[in-house]
Amino acid sequence: MAATQPILFNWQDIDILPDMKRLGQVLKYLPDEDIIKALEHKRGRGRNDYPVVAMWNAVIAGIVFQHRSIEGLVREMLRNPALLHVCGFDSLPMQGKPVTRVRASKETGLSEIISIPGKARDSIPRCWNFYRFLGNLIELEEQQGLVQGMIKTLREQLMLALPDFGQHLGYDGKAIQSHSTGYIKRETGLSSDPDADWGKHETHGIDSKTGKEWNKVKSWFGYGVHVIADTHYEIPVAFHLTPASHSEVVELDGMLDALFEQTPALTDRCEDFSADRGLDSGKLKAKLWDEHQIRPLIDIREMWREEKKMPDYDPSKTITRALNPDRHDNIIHTEKGQVFCVCPQTGEQRALAFHGFESDRDTLKYRCPAAAYGLDCAGRETCSKNAGINVGDFGRVIRIDITKQNRRLFTPTPHGSPSWKRGYNRRSALERINNRIDNNFGFEDHFIRGHANMTTRVGLALAIMMALALGHVVEGRPEQIRSLVKPIPYSDTG
């Protein structure tokens, strides 16, 4: 008798597979009760061949395992019984409903009713079943915003799990192309995605060597995803999707209002907010500090044009202007908000010594660099006389009231200071999040059209990112908080 191989796999072991454990973690920590309840209510008394919970789990699995299309997800389910089991589908074919028929009896010749067993069919839903399910999900998101509700719940749960979550926030906008060329059809006057439009991202500046202006333009047809995230943990906090042409500054202003209204505790917890120079706005910076006591760490655009058009303009020299042009003084500043003094005797420029921000006065405090650093300055006495007071050995003190200066240039944390650089460097977390949206969740190559469809898909991707992070923290794996694809170790599968 030939020997048989022992069974190496048992269906009871499915849950300990690392990939299935990762999916299980998302399903465990995703607050989807309201969505499932709404989907079941929408189905009502309709056919229940494929339960709502199983269909929902499969949709989430398609995102977790990075399937770029429903067809790819269905193919994976056809060859992966472990995935069927975790989602809640039966891997065995379903027996069809019996068919009742009337026929003449061969023995008596009388009519009789017989029941013929129905044909067996696959228990795996097909593409059209998923498309109808997604249509219902998208419709519910338009009406009730349930995916956005999940993100709000996850944000609050992360704040409970991580006492410093939300201390360092940042913003970035991301272009997502629609699965449409933007071509306008003559018959309808619309494109294949009428919700999308053309966006343009323009960057410009002046060459430091030649002094000539340069300009670079990127355009796309689709949408803009506006993301606020924790820049320390690299976890999304909120998002908003608009047609591509919408202004980032305007959208961020509304997002901040909505975010702090939904989660007031985040206002008290947040210490700084970073963004790139595209968000350089005096109104935005003033709002962050004046209304929420949040330090803006936003890069400054170079917008001084008059000096650059002068015939004696030297691109190698930094442009400066008087801090208080209405009076005779030797204190000047650059377009980046850096403050200098000019020696009355030699004309040498020295950066003032920054001595902190006085929040009770809303003033930046600077000291004479000669007094602060023990430097020799030929014009120190003359400079002190310009101050109109006896400065003594401590040296002259310059206080800059940011509420009376250009709010774009002067902020509680001065541009270029060590603390500003540390905070602004954290903003690169947004770029990594955008990279994950593109590469891990497939938004660089997709088949999505329509604002509601895109909003739902982006919202689900970000919610899964947050749920994975929450699970890693709660279950004692903080080192994997940013990981989307790294398997959960066998030792953690319990």
β-strand partners of 176: 223
Using pLDDT thresholds of 50, 70 and 90, give the confidence band for residue 94. low
Q: Is the pLDDT of residue 46 over 70?
A: yes
Exposure b/e, 175-205, CB count within 10 A at least 16 = b: bbbbbbebeeeeeeeebbbebbbebeeeeee
pTM: predicted TM-score of the whole model, two decimal places: 0.86
C-alpha torsion 16→18→24→30, nearest 10: 150
Interval 360-379 mean pLDDT = 90
Backbone angles phi, psi at 127, to 5 degrees: -60, -45
User: Residue 339 is encoded by which pair of tokens?
Assistant: 């403050």
Using pLDDT thresholds of 50, 70 and 90, give the confidence band for residue 6. very low
Q: Higher confidence at residue 111 or residue 36?
A: 36
Burial class of residue 464 in the structure, from the number of CB atoms within 10 Å of its CB (0-12 exposed, 13-18 middle, 19+ buried): buried
* Residues contacting 268, CB < 8 A, separation 6+: none
Q: Is the pLDDT of residue 7 over 50?
A: no
Q: What is the model's pLDDT at position 18? A: 76
Q: What is the model's pLDDT at position 3? A: 43
C-alpha dist (Å) from residue 284 to 18, 29, 238, 302, 413 = 45, 35, 18, 17, 15
Q: Higher confidence at residue 122 or residue 348?
A: 348
Q: Higher confidence at residue 484 or residue 373?
A: 373
DSSP of 227-282: EEEETTTTEEEEEEEEETTS-HHHHHHHHHHHHHHH-HHHHHH--EEEE-GGG--H
Using pLDDT thresholds of 50, 70 and 90, give the confidence band for residue 117. low
In sign, the C-alpha dihedral spanning 358, 362, 368, 373 is positive
CB 447 within 8 A of CB 179: yes
**pLDDT digit string (tens) for 174-217?**
999 999 988 888 888 888 999 999 998 877 766 766 767 778 88
Distance CA 469, CA 162 (A): 11
**pLDDT digit string (tens) for 315-340?**
778 888 888 888 778 899 999 999 99
User: Interior CA angle at 442 toward 439 and 443, to 5°?
Assistant: 100
Kindly state the percentage of the chain with pLDDT values over 70. 88
User: Residue 254 is encoded by which pair of tokens?
Assistant: 């509304």
3-state secondary structure of 349: strand
Least confident range of 4-13, 230-239, 361-370, 464-473: 4-13
* Residues contacting 102, CB < 8 A, separation 6+: 111, 112, 113, 114
Using pLDDT thresholds of 50, 70 and 90, give the confidence band for residue 119. low
Q: What share of the chain is helix, strand, coil (3-state, %, to 5)?
A: 40, 20, 40
**pLDDT digit string (tens) for 260-293?**
999 999 999 999 999 999 899 999 999 999 999 9
Whole-number average pLDDT of the chain: 86
Q: Is the pLDDT of residue 5 over 60?
A: no
CB 66 within 8 A of CB 441: yes
Interval 108-121 mean pLDDT = 67
Q: What is the model's pLDDT at position 494? A: 45
**pLDDT digit string (tens) for 435-490?**
999 888 888 888 899 999 999 999 999 999 999 999 999 999 888 888 876 666 65
Burial class of residue 449 in the structure, from the number of CB atoms within 10 Å of its CB (0-12 exposed, 13-18 middle, 19+ buried): middle
Estimate to the nearest angstrom the gap between the alpha carbon of 136 and the chain centroid: 25
Q: What is the model's pLDDT at position 166? A: 95
